[in-house]
Structure 1
């Protein structure tokens, strides 16, 4: 059986990801004056940290190609303040979720799931979880759909911070992590969109480094050692996420799963990818 951390990850991630897959958050951010996708992405995701330098965002986001973050940070703060960006992002995500969920948006399940997710998110310390700590410093919204999205975002970034810890512990850098993810999805590295910013020579250098460590073969696919390491990273990510859910009784976990499955099915059905 999958761990509680893995089971709940499959529920809160789709809710959080309306921030990236729906039009409404982008439209709200574009209304502030942002043009193009990446400036509004870096502004909205790093806004809980305030006006930090590109080097900080680059280190925290971990897996962007050299220069991607600096092209947008700190210039993104010339368009709008972090506070305005956070408000626009939340408005857009709530609009998107309400449009997707229709009558389910006002069901008691939404409010109850938000309550349980928030219970989990506020039950653990923030040490070593920089983005999670920034998000937890923000006011929790009152409106139920906004609370659910905010709670899902807290748990997503809590897990994400732990995942970076697992990658660093395994000696996997940002671009290598993209390659390993592509291979987990049975996709060649060059076909993985997040590796597009790398030229052929740069990507070859990343693959060569993994090859020298016995993690990929001559054709660019996993070796047994590479697959084992990537599975171990995911297992450690689960372990690092697990303390957030220790506060939930088994019947509360079952309540979350039962209540959120139809909601998440609607969200997944609306995904454009």
Structure 2
């Protein structure tokens, strides 16, 4: 089977809807609320950072990369007064599995999904962990046996593996966390970039500083749109991100990769039809 796009890009498009049910479905929020969290962001930071353990806010800020100064510290380490990292991860997984089962319906109990979960788990546990902080944290946890949980856990590991590489690509281009949101917003056609959901709440002075900095580097024009240099920079970031995300899939034989791609297609299509996408995911 011949493919025109990078393997990592094609598999990202197929697996992202699986992992991001965490951000678009009520079940994960309900599961975190059951632990005692009263707002979305407490649950987000507790659930996503749980594999890192009880580390300081500075470590989570560095690992997540794209949050503004002070945002992580409003939640970490305070969330650990409410629950433990182990309980937070378990609840996050429980909620995501419940969401997947609701959305996928009968598809959740098919042999095809079980096979997809096995192949995805094989890929997600085959890459090196060096330089991959979030991925390494998840690799240290047991892979669930139940197929739907196995599918979500594997997709989540691959998402964080890709995210670790994406940070490398951003750092190589000297693009900070807030700057990355500006480039992504404009690349998605969101204008002005300051209206993007991930940054619109930041102080106007901070956003102006970021935009001016990008203009000074020739990445944005006077109107706040991408220049040719800006588009080229964004393209290099995405290309390197894809290249750095290839490693897990090299652990599959070509026939296994083609089989996985075929099995994930209906799963991804069902999830996308319900609005599970990555345009504003954390």
Q: TM-score, normalised by structure 2?
A: 0.95
Q: Deviations over 1:139-178 (max 9, x none)?
A: 1111100000000001000000000010001100011000
Q: Which of 166, 169, 173 is residue 172 of structure 2 equivalent to?
A: 169
Q: Deviations over 1:114-134 (max 9, x none)?
A: 111111122111000001000
Q: 1:212: Cα distance to partner?
A: 0.6
Q: Which of 253, 257, 261 is residue 261 of structure 2 equivalent to?
A: 257
> How many angstroms apart in 2 are the aligned matches of 1:90 and 1:60?
20
Q: Which of 201, 206, 210 is residue 210 of structure 2 equivalent to?
A: 206
> How many angstroms apart in 2 are the aligned matches of 1:187 and 1:93?
28
Confirm whether residue 269 of structure 1 aligns to residue 273 of structure 2.
Answer: yes
> Are the aligned partners of 2:21 and 2:276 in contact in 1 as well (CA < 8 Å)?
no
Q: Which of 182, 185, 199 is residue 185 of structure 2 equivalent to?
A: 182
> How many angstroms apart in 2 are the aligned matches of 1:30 and 1:79?
11
> How many angstroms apart in 2 are the aligned matches of 1:73 and 1:18?
23
The residue number in structure 1 matching 2:227 is 223
Q: Deviations over 1:36-75 (max 9, x none)?
A: 1101000000000001000100111111112111100100
Structure 2 unaligned spans of 5+: 278-282
Q: Deviations over 1:4-29 (max 9, x none)?
A: 10000011111000111110011011
> How many angstroms apart in 1 are the aligned matches of 2:276 and 2:255?
33
The residue number in structure 2 matching 1:16 is 19
The residue number in structure 1 matching 2:242 is 238
> How many angstroms apart in 2 are the aligned matches of 1:147 and 1:42?
22
Q: Which of 80, 85, 110 is residue 82 of structure 1 equivalent to?
A: 85
> How many angstroms apart in 2 are the aligned matches of 1:272 and 1:245?
23
> How many angstroms apart in 2 are the aligned matches of 1:170 and 1:109?
41
> Are the aligned partners of 2:127 and 2:251 in contact in 1 as well (CA < 8 Å)?
no
> Are the aligned partners of 1:120 and 1:244 in contact in 2 as well (CA < 8 Å)?
yes
Q: 1:186: Cα distance to partner?
A: 1.2
> How many angstroms apart in 2 are the aligned matches of 1:50 and 1:272?
28
> How many angstroms apart in 2 are the aligned matches of 1:199 and 1:36?
21
> Are the aligned partners of 2:20 and 2:276 in contact in 1 as well (CA < 8 Å)?
no
> How many angstroms apart in 1 are the aligned matches of 2:158 and 2:220?
32
Confirm whether residue 135 of structure 1 aligns to residue 141 of structure 2.
Answer: no
Q: Which of 69, 72, 75 is residue 69 of structure 1 equivalent to?
A: 72
Q: TM-score, normalised by structure 1?
A: 0.98
The residue number in structure 2 matching 1:149 is 152
The residue number in structure 2 matching 1:192 is 196
Q: Which of 94, 97, 101 is residue 94 of structure 1 equivalent to?
A: 97
Runs of at least 4 residues off by over 3 Å: none
Q: 1:272: Cα distance to partner?
A: 6.7
Q: Deviations over 1:234-253 (max 9, x none)?
A: 00001101121112222222
What's the C-alpha RMSD, in Å, of the aligned pairs? 1.0
Q: 1:197: Cα distance to partner?
A: 2.7
> Are the aligned partners of 1:22 and 1:271 in contact in 2 as well (CA < 8 Å)?
no
What is the total number of aligned residue pairs between the two structures?
273
